[in-house]
Structure 1
């Protein structure tokens, strides 16, 4: 077997064709800005530990936090330790923690403090020398988008963004990627002045979920589904992300953003692209992104947005046996806010595969239960040699990919009810990750952080994908802005009446997961 050429920062120990060995990051470090926030404490720091615990980080891995707190290295190490103990997926192992703790550093400072970034540069250089990180560092911006330009400018001025000939520097950006097309383009312009396009990783944590990746396997590794994955057989597709929680404590972020910008622009349109795209030449980033871009470019909004979109705002009600307040009564919110907590839209895809097949996207807070799923609903059989009474309880065949919380796939089809009469009723065939595999699914941030350190970008939306998504959503947002307040819906229900009316106009109904 000929030797495999490994680029800087990749694992020199693994032949990528050998599936027996995991991908392990090469020498590197991770710098997290906004390390005192909830995302870092609940997701990022535990994910780093879990990667180390699984043996996927190099022995000399370095973790540096940057924040305003007046901490030293030991203070920050204690914060990491507590976050790991509370939120890590894998068991706590003293030997793993000891090795990880040796590479933990903290730099105190404000984003506008040039001296703080000089201290950060000195820290990174010391890590290169003492921990063998070899100049390979990723900068995770777990901060508000408004701070991106300042931090990027500081990284450039201090030289931290500059990579050597045999090293790399990368930047990780959390959503939202702007609040409309214009702001997204401005943000991309700021980042591209400092980092090359292949060094920019836009995190959409939904793309790191095992079930989202399994959608690709389901479609392209099997002969069973792809022949009927088209307008000849599919009636429509529903993509749902429902949450049973309210906004509580997120007033500063959510007010003025709303459900559509928060979820549809990124998570749901990415799920649509993966569901509808053509088979890529490979799963390399360029090939995968090319097919997603083709699909997003073909998405068309209905002419009458009033009939084919819906938005709502949850009110007082009951959730899980507890009485909950409405959106406008949540702490910190403007009592006259017109921000929506529920959004639903219909889109069509103008290509040969999907002509005439509507895609319905919906998301909301304080809905009936927490669930994210992609439901491919098939057309009824063209000829049913049964009396109507025999098939009265038979619905459409459907294939449902459950992204969370109960990861798996359900197929709904008709079967005869036991007995002497010919009565057909819906039944389901179910695949669950927890039943089929002994190993639990890694958290999305584990996969995505490892991919950043490996320089492997297939699961990260490109700049063009982000801009196409805003081109789809912006007309809807402009239409809603002219319509005043969203329609109220009671907490614990499945959204406003207008969402059901939107589907009824097309002769369809929302699934009740």
Structure 2
């Protein structure tokens, strides 16, 4: 199967922080792939910007090395690199001062879309926005892309929103969450709203519970300084997992327009019940034979920051009242996996007798590593000898369904092209971010008030035992992390 590629209009994209890890690992490779696929037009231009003194050729060498390091066998060949590098420039700029801004202004065109990607630490979001305004670089066709973390709490998120609003209107601000660019996440909306099959069942009457799991095998690594100030709640739940929850629980929007979709997501956040302390389990991984503990990795022996969190969440609206949503995420777990599992209720009566084996119908949406969907249903086990029931999986992996040769775009490939198009559907709105923090802040405040400490768990496990009790008390169990 051949993917349909729709080229975008010519653009100037400035990547602030172009020498950093995110730009080298994700942004620049994504742009090169879009150019290779014919979606980035030949007139498209990319300008790397950072405080590091580099020539254009030195920057090209750095990017070429990044392609080899992060793309491996799929790295572009010499001919493609040469074409792509013709459109790749570099400028040294001081985000906190005046140096480089006039030079940047002289390189930008007035008749194309201008996009500025803030691939920098959050402390520079405000100064960059101010610099763009102060040096007259903002046009009606200007967009800015802001990476997370978008604030550290409600107060800081509001302050940042106000700073950005001083120079840009809301239609120009793209708060990026790469989870929303994943093919399976968008297919979740297609499955829900393009098929009548599930919509009549997508409510508390037929859904027993929902589990959202984002598990990682790695520790905090080089992010220790940042992570120890944020933890799993701020780093994952407030943004990535909140977005997944909203897409699962939202009402059908009146159209697939950016604000129509985001309005419905906002309603879900407003309907979230406050989380009581007994509905939360925090954990922190210890050390193993060949692995350092969390405290050792962040170099803080008495760290009280969670690397794992599990929550039971309720939604007080007509669709979901009474159906719990269980969220969990953590580092140094048994396997790397991200999935959403919708477990449906059992039939009200079994005609096959009380002793017949029974397993619930479960719709599993896999985000990684093998993107796809699985629906577990009950069938008759083949063979004579009576009616024996067996559960089987109706499995659709994108690699199998669409062909192994088809390239499924990385989330950043899709999202950056959406920025150029001016499509904000998969980006967070300011009020959505603030509502998420308004729900999250009281949970964190309760930990601080009670001096709650994370429960220890072994690296390579499924998390702390207390998380098992959280769901077992409701007569349910977590899905295996694998």
- Kindly indicate whether the alpha-carbon contact (under 8 Å) linking 1:49 and 1:84 is maintained by their aligned counterparts in 2: no
Q: Return the match for 2:355 from 389, 403, 414.
A: 389
The offset of 1:416, in angstroms, is: 3.3
The offset of 1:293, in angstroms, is: 1.3
Q: Return the match for 1:258 from 216, 220, 231.
A: 231
CA distance in structure 2 between the aligned counterparts of 1:138 and 1:80, rounded to whole angstroms: 20
- Kindly indicate whether the alpha-carbon contact (under 8 Å) linking 1:50 and 1:90 is maintained by their aligned counterparts in 2: no
The offset of 1:140, in angstroms, is: 0.5
Task: Find out whether 1:494 has 2:462 as its counterpart.
Answer: yes
The offset of 1:93, in angstroms, is: 4.3
Give the structure 2 partner of residue 431 of structure 1.
396
Q: Which runs of 5+ in 1 are unaligned?
A: 1-18
Give the structure 2 partner of residue 468 of structure 1.
435
Give the structure 1 partner of residue 379 of structure 2.
415
- Kindly indicate whether the alpha-carbon contact (under 8 Å) linking 1:311 and 1:343 is maintained by their aligned counterparts in 2: yes
Q: Which runs of 5+ in 2 are unaligned?
A: none
The offset of 1:102, in angstroms, is: 1.8
CA distance in structure 2 between the aligned counterparts of 1:421 and 1:309, rounded to whole angstroms: 46
Give runs of aligned pairs for residues 232-247 of structure 1, distance below 5 A.
232-247=205-220
Give the structure 2 partner of residue 442 of structure 1.
409
- Kindly indicate whether the alpha-carbon contact (under 8 Å) linking 1:300 and 1:350 is maintained by their aligned counterparts in 2: yes
CA distance in structure 1 between the aligned counterparts of 2:375 and 2:184, rounded to whole angstroms: 15
Task: Find out whether 1:170 has 2:134 as its counterpart.
Answer: no
Task: Find out whether 1:290 has 2:263 as its counterpart.
Answer: yes
Give runs of aligned pairs for residues 68-467 of structure 1, distance below 5 A.
68-88=51-71, 92-124=76-108, 128=109, 134-160=111-137, 162-163=138-139, 168-302=141-275, 305-317=276-288, 323-330=290-297, 332-391=298-357, 394-418=358-382, 420=385, 422-438=387-403, 439-467=406-434
CA distance in structure 1 between the aligned counterparts of 2:3 and 2:452, rounded to whole angstroms: 57
TM-score (norm 1): 0.89
CA distance in structure 1 between the aligned counterparts of 2:224 and 2:106, rounded to whole angstroms: 37
CA distance in structure 1 between the aligned counterparts of 2:9 and 2:230, rounded to whole angstroms: 38
Structure 1 residues 418-441: Cα deviation after superposition (integer angstroms, max 9, x where no partner): 452544333222111010002121
- Kindly indicate whether the alpha-carbon contact (under 8 Å) linking 1:180 and 1:474 is maintained by their aligned counterparts in 2: yes
Equivalent position SS for 1:183: helix
The offset of 1:195, in angstroms, is: 1.2
Farther off after superposition, 96-105 or 195-204: 96-105
CA distance in structure 2 between the aligned counterparts of 1:299 and 1:159, rounded to whole angstroms: 42
The offset of 1:299, in angstroms, is: 1.2
CA distance in structure 1 between the aligned counterparts of 2:363 and 2:262, rounded to whole angstroms: 25
Distance 1:325 1:278, change over 3 A: same
- Kindly indicate whether the alpha-carbon contact (under 8 Å) linking 1:313 and 1:340 is maintained by their aligned counterparts in 2: yes
The offset of 1:103, in angstroms, is: 2.4
- Kindly indicate whether the alpha-carbon contact (under 8 Å) linking 1:348 and 1:359 is maintained by their aligned counterparts in 2: yes
TM-score (norm 2): 0.94
Distance 1:285 1:390, change over 3 A: same
- Kindly indicate whether the alpha-carbon contact (under 8 Å) linking 2:29 and 2:67 is maintained by their aligned counterparts in 1: yes
Equivalent position SS for 2:76: coil
The offset of 1:113, in angstroms, is: 2.2
- Kindly indicate whether the alpha-carbon contact (under 8 Å) linking 1:53 and 1:93 is maintained by their aligned counterparts in 2: no
Structure 1 residues 363-416: Cα deviation after superposition (integer angstroms, max 9, x where no partner): 00011111111110111111113344332xx33221110011111111112233
- Kindly indicate whether the alpha-carbon contact (under 8 Å) linking 2:5 and 2:37 is maintained by their aligned counterparts in 1: no
CA distance in structure 1 between the aligned counterparts of 2:311 and 2:68, rounded to whole angstroms: 41
Q: Return the match for 2:453 from 478, 485, 491.
A: 485
CA distance in structure 1 between the aligned counterparts of 2:308 and 2:374, rounded to whole angstroms: 26
CA distance in structure 1 between the aligned counterparts of 2:75 and 2:53, rounded to whole angstroms: 30
- Kindly indicate whether the alpha-carbon contact (under 8 Å) linking 2:67 and 2:75 is maintained by their aligned counterparts in 1: no
